A and B are shown apart, each in its own frame.
Chain A
Amino acid sequence: MTSPIVELDGVARSFGAVQALAGVDLAVDAGTCLGLVGHNGAGKSTLMQVLAGTLAPDRGRIGVAGEDLTRGYDVVTAQRHGIRCVFQELSLCPNLTVAENARVLHPSIRGRAWRRRAGELVGAVLDQIFPRHGIAADAVVGDLSIARRQMVEIARAFSVTDVPVRLVILDEPTSSLDALVAEQLLAFVRRFVAEGGSTILISHLLGEILETADRVVVMRDGLVVESRPAGDFSRESLVAAMGSVAEAASDRAAGFVSRRQGEPACRARPVGQGAGEGPELLAHPGEVVGLAGLAGHGQTDMLVALFEELGPRRSALVAGDRQTDGIFPLWSIAANISVGSLRDMVRGLLIERGAETELADEWRRRIGIRTPDMKDNILSLSGGNQQKALFARALGSTARIVLMDDPMRGVDVGTKQEVYAIIRAEAAKGRTFVWYTTEMDELAHCDHVYVFRDGRITAELAADALTEEKVLHASFADEAA
């Protein structure tokens, strides 16, 4: 154990106004399993992408086995130095067989009987990790269940041809595996580590982390805030380390008045949750309802399902993933706003130009979109102002229920404060907000919070009962459900 396998020094990376990594130091020793935990936006995934070579850092140093590789570090370099990554999104070719997918990662398998050799290679690792896995080497990946695909992906990452595998990054590897198979994987990780390999394990199952990892690193706001042997942590102390301790108690709790009376404006259950199971989501007129939990645990699906059920007349959606879900990149700012209210602007058969400009100008004033001309292209705006335009689209419509899909991603603090104030003002006028957010601070603006985990609602908290710790507890499970 002389020099660490991988060493990161002061690695930083920003996306627009948001600093995802603010100078991270991280060292992984040979023969250890490093557990990495942190709440949404802490920077875990960005850090792993940097390590895997799929994302270049803005500054900082990357060293592998004592060698400085910062310059031109990419996927191929990472592979060549024995660093493998199992991403949450699968990187197998669904139209190829298991053996062929193994070959994609191992160009050295060629010539006679390559299929047999590739099959045996991945098959042997599968046998080692998941005994009785029942996956044939000639099975087409697209025909396998999600769990089995995940197993193939993991086995492929551990397979060795010409370069020894030094470090395997596992990003939520057990999310689609059942408890027994997850247990097999973690046992294998221990054996792999005992033989001198290293792994980085990211998981929302804290029990998994505490049992498997040698060291646990806690990230918050793009920084490593704790790094200690796993034995020093308990579940409670981990949760506490992830939260921002200095945060004062929510000021809304004091003067909180519940609006839960009369008929709710809408009610729904997550798609994966049966009729009798767990709490139902309710939103009353004038209420701001928060959806919390780790990213990707069913909140967005819920919002989209709600939007489809309510229809565009009663509800409007504010997209968070601006590029894929929100912006019309060829249009002006004004057109991007008015698209949500076209129905109300038609006189006769035609859209009234005046009404369009009027709406755009009104919201430019109310929400403070900083631009010389609302006829400029939407992409001429900064990310925060683009997001304001999307807010204006929803708020400017006549919809009484506004659904928000983590809309503050990549938005600067000033803009956030402005938008919070508008949301509160609109709610006071009787509008209902259903707000999925990955930021703990924003939950303080909600009257009622539902915490999601694995596609279900696991906790329901009124504003006066809301604490960060309760949300984290409900977001991170002890063991696989």
Chain B
Amino acid sequence: MSAARNPLARPLARLLEKPWLWAFVGATLVWLATIPFTPGRGAGDVLTAAFTFATFFVIVGIGQMFVITLGPGNVDLSIPATITLAGSVATKLMDGQDALIALGFVAALGCGLAVGAVNYALIRALRIPPIIATLSSSFLIQSTAIAYGRGLRIKPPPMLAEFTTARIFGMPVLAICVILLAAVMAVVLERTIYGRSVIAIGQNQRAARLAGIAVDRTRLATYVMSALFASLCGYLLAAFSGGASLNMGEEYLLASIAVVVIGGTSVAGGFANLPGLWGAALFLFLIVTMLNTYGLGAGIRYVLTGLIIIAVITAAGGRKPLR
């Protein structure tokens, strides 16, 4: 209509259609509402902290997003356990020595590879829904991590710890890396056969199979990838927080799903977007910061986080009755 007359209207309309927009708008609003009440610390400090912590949410969020995009019933509940396992194994192997950083990295990813393969093997061999499969395996992984990591008081290698906390112009280096990672994954999602396959399967698995898409291989790859990102997160988180701990993965179950949902990815599958992960991760962290600066306790924080997730999913609507 007016799009023909006003040359700006169409790009603007396109922008407003972007599902990730609202997460960033929300994050900005919350940030603006927070800074007047942060005496001593500047607005920049709040942002720096937000980027630092959001980084870890985004890493696991990427994996979870690909899994959820595979369609209804697909979700990875083993992410927290995998984070703990990879963090513990890597920390113990590196033993605080800079020379062993690469070894720890490989070991962490090895954990992820194994977890992902086991998850998908359970889904296929036992023909059980992914929720139950990843739940069952998470019990085993959690125990392995606890048994392996008990009494672990090892500091991460200094160089690695330094890397995870380094900043350039107030921007965490790790966050920059993960922004790049997200960009790469966005290309993978849109421009590779694998990414297209994931989106196709999520929209209609039967149609995907009949269109000649390798459904099983794609699903296997996706569960392995999710576990790999979880283990990467565990590796970096252990370095960042001065060592692995037994409950380091705890909050990442909700966080990984929340950033996907709030970021505008469809929980019904078949539609994903990476920028939204960043918006949602910043939003989630800034909400916590805001409530903290207002002097509100953990209780209110939890309640609001929960209500926001329910509100977003209710507004976005759920599984469309396609079939």
Contact = CB atoms under 8 A, between A and B. Distances in A.
Contact of B213 (A307, A339, A353): A339
B210 A351 contact: no
A393 B200 CA distance: 14
Interface in A301-357: 304, 307, 311-313, 316-317, 319, 323-331, 335, 339-340, 342-343, 346, 349-351, 353
Contact of B191 (A317, A327, A328, A351): A351
A326 to B, nearest CB: 5
Contacts of B211: 312, 317, 326, 339-340, 393
Contacts of A327: 204, 207
Contacts of A312: 211-213
B270 interface: yes
B7 to A, nearest CB: 18
Interface in A350-374: 350-351, 353
Nearest to B268: A330
A346 to B, nearest CB: 6
B207 A330 contact: no
Nearest to A308: B209
Interface residues on B, range: 20 to 34
A323 B208 CA distance: 12
Interface string B161-202: 000000000000000000000000001000111001001100
Contacts of A343: 193
Contact of B210 (A326, A335, A342, A346): A326
Contacts of B191: 350-351, 353
Given A316-B212, A339-B211, A350-B191, A323 B196 contact: no
B212 A328 contact: no
Contact of A328 (B192, B193, B204, B266): B204
B204 A350 contact: no
B5 interface: no
Contacts of A328: 199-200, 203-204, 207-208, 270
B243 to A, nearest CB: 38
A316 B211 CA distance: 7
Nearest to A343: B193
A342 B191 CA distance: 10
B207 A324 contact: yes
B193 A346 contact: yes
Interface in B257-295: 266, 270-271
Nearest to A312: B212
Contacts of A307: 210
For A313, A316, A327, A339, the residue with the greatest tally of chain B CB atoms inside 10 Å of its CB is A339
Contact of B206 (A316, A324, A342, A346): A324
Given A328-B270, A340-B212, A349 B192 contact: yes
Given A323-B322, A343-B193, A351-B196, A330 B212 contact: no
B323 interface: yes
Interface in B24-81: none
Contacts of A339: 196, 200, 211, 213
Contact of A329 (B187, B192, B196, B203): B203
Interface in A154-171: none
Contacts of B207: 319, 324-328
B210 A304 contact: yes
A342 B271 CA distance: 19
Contacts of A316: 212
Contacts of A342: 193, 196
A351 B204 contact: no
B193 A330 contact: no
Given A342-B193, A346-B193, A349-B192, A319 B210 contact: yes
Given A324-B206, A343-B193, A350 B323 contact: no
Interface string A46-86: 00000000000000000000000000000000000000000
A83 B277 CA distance: 54
A328 B271 CA distance: 11
Nearest to A331: B203
For A328, A349, A353, the residue with the greatest tally of chain B CB atoms inside 10 Å of its CB is A328
A324 B203 contact: no
27 contacts: A311-B212, A312-B211, A312-B212, A312-B213, A317-B210, A323-B323, A324-B207, A324-B323, A325-B207, A325-B210, A326-B211, A327-B204, A327-B207, A328-B199, A328-B200, A328-B204, A329-B204, A329-B270, A330-B271, A335-B196, A339-B200, A340-B211, A342-B193, A343-B193, A350-B191, A350-B192, A351-B192
Closest 3 interchain pairs by CB?
A: A312-B212, A350-B191, A328-B203
Interface of B: 187, 191-193, 196, 199-200, 203-204, 206-208, 210-213, 266, 270-271, 322-323
Given A307-B210, A329-B270, A350-B187, 8 more contacts: A312-B212, A328-B204, A328-B208, A329-B204, A330-B199, A330-B203, A342-B193, A393-B211
